[in-house]
Structure 1
Amino acid sequence: MSEPTRPAAGSPAPPGRRERKKAATRQAIADAALRLFLERGYDDVGIREIADAADVSTTTLFKHFPVKEALVFDEESDREDSLLAVVRERPPGRSIPNALREHALHHRGADAGSDPRFVTFLELVNSTTALRDYHQAMWLRHTAALAQVIAEESGLPAGDPACTALAHFALEAPHAARAHDDPQQVINRAFDLLDRGWCGLEGPKAGPS
């Protein structure tokens, strides 16, 4: 019998059985919740129904998702990593506001009309006040982390108010566009303003290395 393959030095150890089981349970709960919400509407589905559909107790459900709204948004840490990478890994010559513009357009589905599942998900969120408010609150939690990366990439001091302002308004712009008939146009106009205002503020590290 050959020796089991060992992870390379410095690489993270693969998740153990317990971690895999927890992740599978969490995913089953999130999948069941989203399926029921899409079928019947968010307000018409109860926590106990979701737990039954996922074959778990309500206690187990709340261990994974502390509030009902969290069942719909299960990838916030991944989203923050993606958001910060947009700034750190932008192509040479692309401004930070323009990199965040592309992310905002994609994140809000302005260019995802070819995926009916994503469109259906957006319709669920946009038609449910509790989900809209929760998602915006969750999204704005990334302001501090985004402002820090903007400062690092721009050669500006940590805590610079201009970096915080850019981060806040970049995250707020897609939310403000929801009420308009053409959200893509609104997002573009907002980021045009942010890009013009950002010109001249960046320090010596004006682009990705």
Structure 2
Amino acid sequence: MTELPIGRRERKKAATRQAIADAALRLFLERGYDHVSVRDVADAADVSPTTVFKHFTGKEALVFDQEESTDAHLIAAVRQREAGQSVLEALRQHVLDTWLPIAAHPQREQFNRLVDSTPALRAYGERMWIRHTDNLSAAIADEFGVEHDSLACATLARFALDVPALAQGQKDRRAAVEEVFDILANGWRPPGEPTA
């Protein structure tokens, strides 16, 4: 599939959106989420508050600026996987390709502290997580031709989305991601039990 070239107008909109998100994150990390207004963000990005709201649904969305594309990327990982690749392996590869670079970002710990210390951001993040789970579960169900309320599909979606949280504190994040997906693929065994 050939991607259509992005026009100048779309590039400018994307650059404005990124400038707003970057300014917001910088201010939130410096001052704290509750001490920054949308006007502060607009001023720092050299745009009007109206422009901020053209690009973001609200103040919380400024922190989770990449979340709108997450659903599309998760669904694409399932629907556009390589021939012969299982849904589970496609999700494993997606997490390795997308989450490991995010986890290694130098501001990641500051970002996590910001979200964890701000009830409004924690609540917003949880709503986004539920939405991602529901949409990923539906995409998996579609791949297998089953109803969207399939418990098996919902379970896989939920655990696949939990892999980054489970791997976050591990020294070797890649190995942790692989281990969790191996458990999903092969079932849980007590630690130290030999594999068959």
TM-score (norm 2): 0.70
Where structure 2 has 5 or more consecutive residues not aligned to the other structure, the ranges are: 188-196
Indicate the residue corresponding to 1:149 in structure 2: 139
Indicate the residue corresponding to 1:96 in structure 2: 87
- Of residues 7, 24, 36 in structure 2, which corresponds to 1:46? 36
How far apart are the structure 2 equivalents of 1:105 and 1:133? 26
Q: For the Cα contact (< 8 Å) 1:151–1:158, is it kept in 2?
A: yes
- Of residues 154, 160, 181 in structure 2, which corresponds to 1:191? 181
Q: Percent identity among equivalent residues? A: 49
1:63 Cα offset (Å):
5.8
* Backbone CA RMSD of aligned residues: 3.3
How far apart are the structure 1 equivalents of 2:99 and 2:36? 27
Indicate the residue corresponding to 1:71 in structure 2: 62
TM-score (norm 1): 0.66
1:23 Cα offset (Å):
6.0
Aligned residue for 2:83, secondary structure, equals coil
Where structure 1 has 5 or more consecutive residues not aligned to the other structure, the ranges are: 1-11, 114-118, 198-209
Q: For the Cα contact (< 8 Å) 1:105–1:111, is it kept in 2?
A: no
How far apart are the structure 2 equivalents of 1:69 and 1:179? 25
Total equivalences in the alignment: 178
Indicate the residue corresponding to 2:149 in structure 1: 159
How far apart are the structure 1 equivalents of 2:36 and 2:148? 44
Indicate the residue corresponding to 1:126 in structure 2: 112
Structure 2 CA distance for partners of 1:46 and 1:157, relative to 1, 3 Å: closer
> 1 or 2, which has the higher helix percentage?
2
Q: For the Cα contact (< 8 Å) 1:33–1:71, is it kept in 2?
A: yes
Aligned letter for 2:24? A
User: Which of the two has higher C-alpha Rg?
Assistant: 1
Aligned letter for 1:147? S
Indicate the residue corresponding to 1:179 in structure 2: 169
1:139 Cα offset (Å):
3.2
Aligned residue for 1:120, secondary structure, equals coil
Aligned residue for 2:65, secondary structure, equals coil
1:101-159 per-residue CA deviation (whole Å, 9 max, x = no partner) reads 1111222225885xxxxx12423323321456644542331112211111121243332
Aligned letter for 2:99? R
Aligned residue for 2:90, secondary structure, equals helix
